[in-house]
Structures are given as C-alpha cells and as structure tokens.
C-alpha cells in the first residue's frame, strides 16, 4: 500500500540541524528569502516541525502509476556470492522516469501548479532528475527547462531525448544563455560542467522570471521527506528487520528516502540497524569534505548551507555516476552524520561497474551507475559475511535502472573506464574559497 504521509525526521533528532543563512547578513533565512524560488507549501515543508505531512490526493493519483514499488530478495546474487547474508533491494526503476526521482518531482510540480507557476527550471547530473521533473511537469501542464551537466549531456544523449519527449527544453551546462554559464565558458570553453554550476544557471532564470520557480532533486529537507515513501513501504514489505541499510549518496535523497523511516525506529529504540552511505571516490564529500557553511551552487546565488562540502568551486571529474557529482551533501544528512547516526564509505568507478554487471547477470536488472556504489558495498559486506559466517540481513536501494547508461557499461566492458584518484590539493584549493 502507498503511504498516506511523508515522514519528517527532524523532530525526532537529538539536536536540531543548523539553519540556512542569508549570505549577506549571515542571519537565518525566512520564507520571503525563498519565495522567488519555491512555492509557499514547499517552503513550509522545508522548515516543518511536524513528524508527518499528508500526501495530497492529486499526488497519490500520479504515484499510483508505479507505487508501491517492489521489494525483492536477491537470491541469485546471494547464491553467486556463496554468502549466508540475506540481501533485499527496494527497486525504484519501475517509475515512468526509471528512478526514485519522481517521488519528489510529482509533489513539487503539483504545489507549483497549484500556486499558479507556469515554468519550472532545474539542473540535472545524469539526467535522472531532469527526466523525472519533465515527466511531472507533463502531468500538471507546466513548462520545464533543464540545465544538464555537459559531461552527462554528451555521455547520455538518450536521457536528453527522454526529457524532450516529456516536453522539456534541455540546455547543456555551462550554457551561453545565463551569466554563470557564459562566465564558465569564457574561463574554459571545454568545461565538463558541474551540478553546482547547473544549479546557478537554473536559479538565475527562475529568479528573473516572475511566473517561474526552481525545483531541486536532492539536498533540501522537503526533497528528502518526499522520498520517505520508499522506506515506509519497505518497512511494511520486509519479512525480517535489516541489520544493515546501504544506499548511495550524491545529494542524499535516495539514501534518506530508504533510511529515514528505519532510523525513526532505531531512534525510538525498536531496532538496532546500522546505516551506511556510499559515495564515489572521485567526489567524496562525506569522507573527505569539510563540515562548514557553503553555497549550494557555484556562482553563490543560493543561501549558505551547513553541509559536508568539497567547496562550491570544486568541479568533479566526469565520472559516469553523474547524479553523484555534487560538491556538497544534504545539510540534514550532514548534520546526522556529525551526530554519528550513520557511516560513510567510498567506492571507485570500476569496482562499482563490476558490481553492476554481476547484479545484472544474476538478478537480471541493469542498474544505473549511481546505485552500483551501494551494490558494490553490499557485495563486499556479503563476502565479509561469507568469511565470518554471519547471517546478516542487508537492505539496499536500487534507485534506478541503467538502460540509458549502456555507453558507460560499454566503456567498462572494453576496459576503457578509468578510476579517478582525487588529489588532496584539489580539495584544499576549493576549500580556500569557502565563504568567510
């Protein structure tokens, strides 16, 4: 059954997260500061103190196209590993856009349409979020403009085509149609782009257009809250409690969506589950970033967010897990990481694709590059169980399929996929530009 409410974890935390700050005054921002970018309903959800927020009927009507999503035990993968561990995955690739992203795209489009907005702007890394928002806008008769990180724009042309099928206009980022894009192109005409820069472009257009607003696919509290339909369903579907929950993290929405309902149970003392976030070695904001106030975008147009960051000027290497190429991390998840509520580890690109191929050859689903990070850690944990004899129950989030990512799999299968080793000096340099 589809949950009737989204879950807001903030009231259950042992300490409140630090607020976003106005970059000029360094004071907590208020609703008026966010009104040019977001509808009031979403602003209210961003700061809500309610544990549960009712899902509107109109949103549930669209959710029913694919929800509830299946929870599957990976028995064939278990057998191939020879592990006593029991592995379950929550599969979000059955949505129209092929990922978990419509869980928040649909309510964001709904609330904007109800407030009279005509155009939504956004950024996208791998194209999963752009596809989801384009789909959601088609459901509520909204225009959609997407700035797609140039590296992914070139690597994933069929993601771009899918957005256009749903009616969206897609720009490569950096693009010549915005100030931040023009500056980036002047500095480096061959720039691969970054999520931070694409955010700057989308925010600039939204802020300058009265009938437009901006939509974000991860990072912010209301986005993470919308994704909790994943974990709420999994709680009902699982035949046994998990010892370990594993999810990939870029901005944080996939991991949070699965983990937050289970974390609620742990904070209440009802379960003893361990939680583990997995990020790319090429963009390791949790494990090598600094917990500090920073801009959410490259050009410094957003409020200051207290988060784990590699620095807003950091441009990640063009790894194929484009949805994880973000310089920062969800402020809420960053705060929870500081509280010690979950672990974080990194995985390299080749070991992730190795896990993705193994999963495809056993379970039959070709995963998107992003969740292969969680699968690589899941397989490693299952093999540790093989050595120790532990019969752990492992739950992971398969947040999307990789049907539009076969060019990346082709590079892996032909031995042309590179592992990027991130030099510390690149992080150090970007961190020197944190707002003082």
Crossing angle of the two packed helices 195-208 and 179-187, in degrees rounded to 10 = 150
How many angstroms separate the CA atoms of 313 and 327, rounded?
8
User: How many DSSP H helices and E strands does the chain contain?
Assistant: 19, 14
Residue 375 sits at the vertex; the CA angle it makes with 369 and 377, to the nearest 5 degrees, is 120
Q: What share of the chain is helix, strand, coil (3-state, %, to 5)?
A: 45, 20, 40
Task: Give yes or no for a cis peptide into 170 (omega within 30° of 0).
Answer: no
> Rounded CA gap, 212 and 200, in Å?
15
DSSP 73-98: E-HHHHHHHT-S-EEEEEE-TTSTTS
User: Are β-strands 5-7 and 52-54 bridged in parallel, bridged antiparallel, or unpaired?
Assistant: antiparallel
Please confirm whether the linkage preceding 360 is cis (ω < 30° from 0).
no
pLDDT tens for the chain, 436 residues: list them.
899 999 999 999 999 999 999 988 999 998 888 888 999 999 999 999 999 999 999 999 999 999 999 999 999 999 999 999 999 999 999 999 999 999 999 999 999 999 999 999 999 987 899 999 999 999 999 999 999 999 889 888 899 999 999 999 999 999 999 999 999 999 999 999 988 899 899 999 999 999 999 999 999 999 999 999 999 999 999 999 999 999 999 889 999 999 999 999 999 999 999 999 999 988 899 999 999 999 887 777 788 999 999 998 887 766 565 556 678 899 999 999 999 999 999 999 999 999 999 999 999 999 999 999 999 999 999 999 999 999 999 999 999 999 998 988 999 999 998 887 788 988 888 888 888 6
Task: Write down the pLDDT at residue 406.
Answer: 92
Q: What is the pLDDT of residue 165?
A: 98
Q: What is the dihedral of CA 251, 254, 346, 266, to 10 degrees?
A: 110
Burial class (CB in 10 A: 0-12, 13-18, 19+), 341: middle
Whole-angstrom distance, CA of residue 323 vs CA of residue 356: 16
**Cβ distance 405 to 156 under 8 Å?**
yes
Residue 422 CA neighbour count, 13 Å, CB half = 28
| Distances from the Cα of 118 to the Cα of 22, 39, 376, angstroms | 27, 12, 42
CA distance 215 to 38: 7
d(CA 417, CA 353): 9
Q: Which residue reads 């149609």 in tokens? A: 177
Residues 112-138: b if buried by 16+ CB within 10 A, e if exposed: bbeeebebbbbbbbbbbbbbbbbbbbb
Specify the 3-state DSSP secondary structure of 322.
helix
The answer to whether 252 and 260 have CB atoms below 8 angstroms apart is no
Reference 57, options 119, 95, 94, 110; nearest CA is 110
Structure-derived torsion over alpha carbons of residues 297, 301, 307, 312, reported in degrees to the nearest 10: 40
* Number of neighbours of residue 294 by Cβ within 10 angstroms: 30
Q: What is the CA radius of gyration of the chain?
A: 20
The total of other beta-carbon atoms located within 10 Å of residue 11's CB is 11
pLDDT tens, position by position, 2-40: 999 999 999 999 999 999 999 889 999 988 888 889 999
253-267 vs 229-237: helix axis angle to the nearest 10?
Answer: 50
DSSP 3-state assignment of 247? strand
Quote the pLDDT of residue 81.
Answer: 98
Q: What is the pLDDT of residues 405-424, one digit of tens each?
A: 898 899 999 999 888 778 89
Between the CA of residue 114 and those of 97, 141, 285, 337, what are the distances in Å? Answer: 23, 11, 36, 35
């Amino acid at each position: 059954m589809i949950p009737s409410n989204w879950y807001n974890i903030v009231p259950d935390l042992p300490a409140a997260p630090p607020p976003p700050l106005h970059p000029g005054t360094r004071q907590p921002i208020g609703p008026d500061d966010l009104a040019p970018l977001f509808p009031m309903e979403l602003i209210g959800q961003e700061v809500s103190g309610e544990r549960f927020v009712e899902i509107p009927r109109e949103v549930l009507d669209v959710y029913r196209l694919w929800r509830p999503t299946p929870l599957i035990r990976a028995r064939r993968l278990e057998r191939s590993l020879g592990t006593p561990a029991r592995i379950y995955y929550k599969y979000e690739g059955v949505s129209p856009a092929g990922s978990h992203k419509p869980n928040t795209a649909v309510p964001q489009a709904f609330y904007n349409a109800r407030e009279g907005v005509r155009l939504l702007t956004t950024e996208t890394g791998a194209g999963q979020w752009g596809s989801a928002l384009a789909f959601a806008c088609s459901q509520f008769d909204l225009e959609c403009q997407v700035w797609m990180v140039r590296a992914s724009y070139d690597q994933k042309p069929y993601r771009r085509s899918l957005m256009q099928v749903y009616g969206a206009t897609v720009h490569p980022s950096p693009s010549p149609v915005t100030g931040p894009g023009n500056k980036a192109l002047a500095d480096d005409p061959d720039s691969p782009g970054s999520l931070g820069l694409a955010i700057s472009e989308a925010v600039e257009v939204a802020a300058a257009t009265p009938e437009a607003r901006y939509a974000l696919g991860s990072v912010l509290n209301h986005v993470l809250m919308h994704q909790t339909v994943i974990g709420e369903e999994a709680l009902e579907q699982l035949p046994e409690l998990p010892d370990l929950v594993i999810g990939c993290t870029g901005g944080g929405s996939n991991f949070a969506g699965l983990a937050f309902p289970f974390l609620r149970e742990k904070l209440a003392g009802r379960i003893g589950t361990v939680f583990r976030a997995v990020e790319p070695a090429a963009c390791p904001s949790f494990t090598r970033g600094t917990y500090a106030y920073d801009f959410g975008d490259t050009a410094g147009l957003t409020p200051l967010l207290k988060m784990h960051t590699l620095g807003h000027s950091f441009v990640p290497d063009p790894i194929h897990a484009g949805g994880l190429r973000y310089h920062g991390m969800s402020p809420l998840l960053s705060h929870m990481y500081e509280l010690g509520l979950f672990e974080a580890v990194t995985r390299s690109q080749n070991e992730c694709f190795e896990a993705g191929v193994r999963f495809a050859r056993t379970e039959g689903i070709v995963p998107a590059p992003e969740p292969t990070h969680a699968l690589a850690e899941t397989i490693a944990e299952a093999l540790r169980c093989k050595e120790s004899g532990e019969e752990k129950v492992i739950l992971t989030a398969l947040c999307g399929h990789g049907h539009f990512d076969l060019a990346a799999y082709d590079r892996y299968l032909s031995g042309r996929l590179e592992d990027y080793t991130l030099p510390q000096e690149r992080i150090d340099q970007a961190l020197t530009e944190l707002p003082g």
